[in-house]
Structure 1
């Protein structure tokens, strides 16, 4: 066996280290992965240090040996820093100052020691540097054991720990060879020396490969974890949507119940009028001769009253249905007018005047049932606010404007307004400043509008009262 054989081992290990760096760079290109980049730098430094060892006769002895050992120590310390950044808590921390101080101190120490030994690299210097390599690899072993505690699958971490342990053991064996006097030179062709170097290079290459496999495994595990989280999130969103649908139905019922007395009154009125007119028509039919024109007039009134009651029932029925959120293009003013008619009795009973200033040309793309539920919630809130505040003039004003991109609906009242600081809180779930409030209506209304790409905000008017602004996007069908 010749020295060329050992130099070939060094050269081959240098090539493998460079290949590992290239592979890591390709796998983590543009991913801003600090752990991978630090391991890549460690592989490159190992490659440079090994090449420096091979060509140390061609480099001034004043720096060749010192440069080699300091670069090799730095590379192992970078491996340790790389492993540290696999921890989720330390992924973005700065490099430890010891990572650079130890190699610099080693460079200075070896140079001073060599100069003190007449410029020669003595077995004592070689032993000291070998011990340094053993300690740095033991530190990597410690770091691997620490980091693996954060992960469920520890198989690849355990394998990497074994590799670091074996490398440390081989360096300690190399130290024993030097101290015993068996072989003090790197290129000594003695069998045990060659076996140690072969083992170090073999496990060094396996170490880099193990890191690559570890990162691929962690990437796959992270992908699996994220997929599982996405499935769980999807299930939670489905449950949330089911809850919202249930709350919508509950809120619609609560809103209708709040108007139940006035709706009953509104229906009873045309029914009572129809009964009176029917009785009068029956009397006129019994007369001789029957007053046909008068009876025909009474029948006309009866039909009008029936249509009026039917319209109220239909509007209420539409609000209490629980259909899916299918969008359709509807006329804004017509949809608002239908809700106003449902609340008309309560408005009249409480002396509240309602105004609608909305162009008949404005159209919105939305689910009509859900949209009218939002309107009913806001009109109910305005009615309650005006009843509690007892302003001199009770008025609700509904208006709308449109631009090329949006439609805005303004619902204003002359009540006491919103308590300062609660303009956004009133849309939170279970938040209510009314004793009888459930805290669902406004939260649900905001969710409904957001499902259709819009939003609801609330603000106080300068002259008193509150204003709710509904913003909806315009689609090409609405233009």
Structure 2
């Protein structure tokens, strides 16, 4: 009785607390809890209600309740967030379940009915556990994994009930055998724990979604800021090939107008026009790849290609500030990441290095970019021979509150860490023997 009342109260509380969210997962879980509580209460009155209702109907109702728990997990997977269970389909399952359980009771002894009920619950709770682990893989919240494990334990205990029947120890649910009693108390406690965990990880998922939206908006803002800092150099770099295309086109037009056609000269002019056009197109393509929001999934990509695309953008500024770049790129460093996001991380770090070196009076200003394989990961390192980072700032370099210019005005490196983390990687800072700065990014191998 207590469990039945608790389940119904939990259902009502869940709907009331999350009423503003209008979340289908919450609705389905609440319906499941309500049905399970109703089934428990009906069973309590088995001596006053016909068996077709108190046993057959109650067990069928419990099975449908677990189906609703599974619907809520399917909603949380995001593949069918608005999945609303078909009342007709569930009603059909309910009727078929009742018919099968009643028929078994008429044809065989009660032990076979118990086995049927246990097998049904083992199946449905195992599915619940499997779906929970899929939700965990998507959201990476440990409580969801615990939620799934509780379902698997539930399935195991119902499987143990089958063994009790086969061993003729406890053939009916309310057998007072000590083992049977321990199993049902354990099932009751597992249900309570599941009820407690579900709203907690729902809130955590909501927090993660808000954080993701915040980071997405910051990522876009940072794209504008990062490329905006180089806008003058990029514009200058684009003007050079486009200006050359204009001059060569006008000269070709003049040659054709005067009728003095020099085939070798025209071929040379056409070749220069094509080369300058490709140069301008390459710069524009590098910018587009960073601003592209169409592909938000992780895909296999060579880190060397990411480095080259970012250098297309930063090359004018590097040249203007007399900073040389050394590349040590391993051709086999294929990372499984969101390429535009990692491009942005590299662009931020390069911007920081350029800013640091611009304040240094030395003839050999240099940035080294390396990629390498390391067991099951790929490593991207950016090293400069600038002044490095002060001792006080090292401990909080990736914190949002950091305000030192070298750390990206308190946002750049914090955002870099968020981006790298959500690409299942890590980022760290190291001092160099010469006193400069070194950033090491580790990313998953494709």
TM range (shorter): 0.5 to 0.7
Change in Cα spacing, 1:322 to 1:432, as seen in structure 2 (3 Å) is farther
Q: Which residue of 1 aligns with 2:215?
A: 244
- Per the alignment, residue 146 of structure 2 pairs with none
Query: Quick one: distance in 1 between partners of 2:198 and 2:207?
Result: 14
The answer to whether the Cα contact below 8 Å between 2:403 and 2:409 also exists between their aligned partners in 1 is yes
Q: Please tell me whether residue 445 in structure 1 is matched to residue 419 in structure 2.
A: no
CA distance in 1, matches of 2:401, 2:244: 43
Structure 1 residue 229: Cα displacement? 2.0
For the 8 Å contact 1:391–1:415, the answer to whether it is kept is: no
Structure 2 contact 333–445 (Cα < 8 Å) conserved: no
Residues 335-366 of structure 1, C-alpha deviations (whole Å, 9 max, x = no match)? 21111111100000111101111122321111
Q: Is the 8 A contact 2:389 2:406 kept in 1?
A: no
Residue 283 of structure 1 corresponds to 254
Moved runs in structure 1, 4+ residues, more than 6 A?
Answer: 214-222
Which residues in structure 2 correspond to 1:384-463 (within 5 Å)?
A: 384-434=355-405, 437-463=408-434
- 1:335 maps to which residue? 306
Contact 1:426–1:432, Cα closer than 8 Å, also in 2: no
How far 1:296 sits from its partner (Å)?
A: 2.0
Match of 1:465 among 411, 436, 441: 436
Is residue 357 from structure 1 mapped to residue 328 from structure 2 by the alignment? yes
Question: Does the Cα contact within 8 Å between 2:237 and 2:316 map onto a contact in 1?
Answer: yes
Aligned ranges 1:304-319 → 2 under 5 Å: 304-319=275-290
Moved more, 246-255 or 325-334: 325-334
CA distance in 2, matches of 1:240, 1:468: 25
Deviation of the 1:233 alpha carbon:
1.2
1:378-400 superposed Cα distances (whole Å, 9 cap, x missing partner)? 11111011012333421000112
Equivalent residue in structure 1 for 2:272, among 296, 301, 318: 301
Report how many residues are paired. Answer: 263
Aligned-pair Cα RMSD in Å = 2.4
The answer as to whether partners of 1:418 and 1:459 remain within 8 angstroms in 2 is no
Q: Cα 1:424–1:461, aligned 2, differ >3 Å: closer, same or farther?
A: same
1:118-267 → structure 2 map (5 Å cutoff) = 223-267=194-238
Kept in 1, the 8 Å contact 2:367–2:383? The answer is yes
Match of 2:301, SS state, is strand
> How far did 1:473 drift?
2.8
Deviation of residue 216 (structure 1)? 10
Could you tell me whether the CA contact under 8 Å between 1:401 and 1:408 is conserved in 2? yes
1:61-90 deviations in whole A, cap 9, x for unaligned?
Answer: xxxxxxxxxxxxxxxxxxxxxxxxxxxxxx
Q: Aligned partners of 1:218, 1:288: CA distance in 2, in Å?
A: 96
Instruction: For residue 427 of structure 1, give the secondary structure of its aligned residue in structure 2.
Output: coil
Q: 1:219 to 1:403 in 2, by over 3 A?
A: closer
Local SS of the residue matching 2:378: strand
Q: For 1:411 and 1:452, how far apart are their aligned partners in 2?
A: 18
Match of 1:203 in 2: none
Separation in 2, partners of 1:371, 1:219? 43
Cα separation, partners in 2 of 1:460 and 1:435, compared to 1, 3 Å: closer
State how far apart, in whole Å, the 1-side matches of 2:293 and 2:414 are. 18
Instruction: Check the 8 A contact 2:355/2:406 in 1, yes or no.
Output: no
Give the Å deviation of 1:430: 4.0
Question: Which residue number in structure 2 is paired with residue 104 of structure 1?
Answer: none
2:292 corresponding residue in structure 1 = 321
Alpha-carbon separation, structure 2, partners of 1:426 and 1:404: 27
Shift of 1:444: 1.4
- String of CA shifts for 1:198-250, please: whole Å, max 9, x gaps: xxxxxxxxxxxxxxxx9999986665443222111111110100111111111
Between the aligned partners of 1:219 and 1:402, the Cα distance in structure 2 is 45
Q: Which runs of 5+ in 2 are unaligned?
A: 1-184
2:263 corresponds to: 292
Structure (1 or 2) with the larger CA radius of gyration: 1
**Structure 2 counterpart SS, 1:412:** strand
Structure 2: distance between partners of 1:324 and 1:249 = 14
**CA distance 1:324–1:431, shift in 2 (3 Å):** farther
Residue of structure 2 aligned with 1:374, choices 341, 345, 361: 345
Does structure 2 retain, via aligned residues, the 8 Å contact 1:390–1:415? Answer: no
CA distance in 1 between partners of 2:373 and 2:411 (Å): 29
TM-score, normalised with respect to structure 2: 0.55
TM-score w.r.t. length of structure 1: 0.52
